[in-house]
Amino acid sequence: MTDEPPQQTLQSFHDALMAHPLIRELWHHFPENMFLVRVEEDGHFTVEAANPAQLDIVGRECLGQPLSAFMPAASAEAIYARYRECVARDKPIRYEEHAAFFDEHGNEQYGYWLTLIVPLHNAADDPQRVTHLFGIAQNVTELHQARDALERHNQALEARVEQRTAELQHANRELTLLNGQLEEMATRDFLTGCYNRRHIEALGQREIDRARRYGISLSVLMIDLDAFKQVNDTQGHAAGDAVLKRVAASLQDALRDSDLLGRFGGDEFLILLPESGSDDARATAERLQQRARELAAVSISVGIATLRPDDDSLDSLAARADQQLLAAKREHHREASG
């Protein structure tokens, strides 16, 4: 390292530039920041030269000064750490830095740079000692700002997508619920809540096909409320509706989970009893009559039909059960008259 005072050293470097036209042109017109930092014997660093691009950012007051003279302490120390690393390794290093500096008005500014620093040796007494660091720094502040803006935009888009996805999922859940409600309305009797006739007939055909496929039994119960017309005539249709709902609830309460209850029309109900023969069906009919009396205070008549080889549809089963129901009602009427 030379013993010349800082100003003389600066002048010597300036004179060297002036002596080489091509280097001078490069120094003055290179668009990126170029600088020369002197490595002091006490481990500090002093800016010895800076090209116009660098001076436009930090000003001429940086020349002959340590970084701390024109940068906040934290930024200066971060850069010093890089300088010390370069000196210790005695090899060029590249890095990206985020640094703050004071502009010509003393206001603190921030920026991002991609920097390359190269160790130089200019000591006659010790050719291996690093005396200077030459640096080139590309200002990428606008690129970082653009990236930050893009990141914020992407985050906003992601938030919007998440919101729209949540809204869509909510709409799909609402639609699924609505479809379920519509399906329920399409298959259920609005008054009693059990299956309507159209759906119980479809279920009946399904159970017949299943019984034939697996060789299992199937029975059908046709149920009618006794003296229901009298309830409507004497107490009104609202009372009749209430009786129908109570009877439907009592029937459902007495059935197995696999049994299927449907309102066949008026005060008639049809029940499908999968895997039930005639004996099981009669036992179920008796249980239903008892529950109707206990829970609904209503007497019901029941007709029973069990699947036969010649039954090709629910109609034939239901017709036989209906005949049995009429016979049961006639018997019930004779008993009541007697």
> Per the residue annotation, which of 189, 224, 267, 322 is the catalytic one?
267
pLDDT value at 223 more than 80: yes
Per-residue model confidence (pLDDT) at position 141: 86
What's the pLDDT tens digit per position in 176-218? 888 877 777 789 998 999 999 999 999 999 999 999 999 999 9
Residue 228 to residue 233: CA distance in whole angstroms? 9
CATH class of the region 197-337: alpha beta
Q: What is the rounded (10 degree) CA torsion for 255, 294, 301, 317?
A: 0
Q: What percent of the chain has pLDDT over 90?
A: 52
What's the pLDDT tens digit per position in 122-148? 888 888 899 999 999 998 988 888 888
pLDDT value at 8 more than 70: no
**Residue 267 known to be catalytic:** yes
Tell me which CATH code domain 6-139 carries: 3.30.450.20
- Comparing CA positions, the residue from 99, 105, 107, 159 lying closest to residue 135 is 99
Tell me the Cα Rg of the chain: 49
In 188-226, which ranges are continuous DSSP H helix? 197-214
pTM for the complete prediction? 0.53
pLDDT value at 19 more than 50: yes
Per-residue model confidence (pLDDT) at position 228: 87
Under DSSP, the state recorded for 296 is I
Per-residue model confidence (pLDDT) at position 183: 77
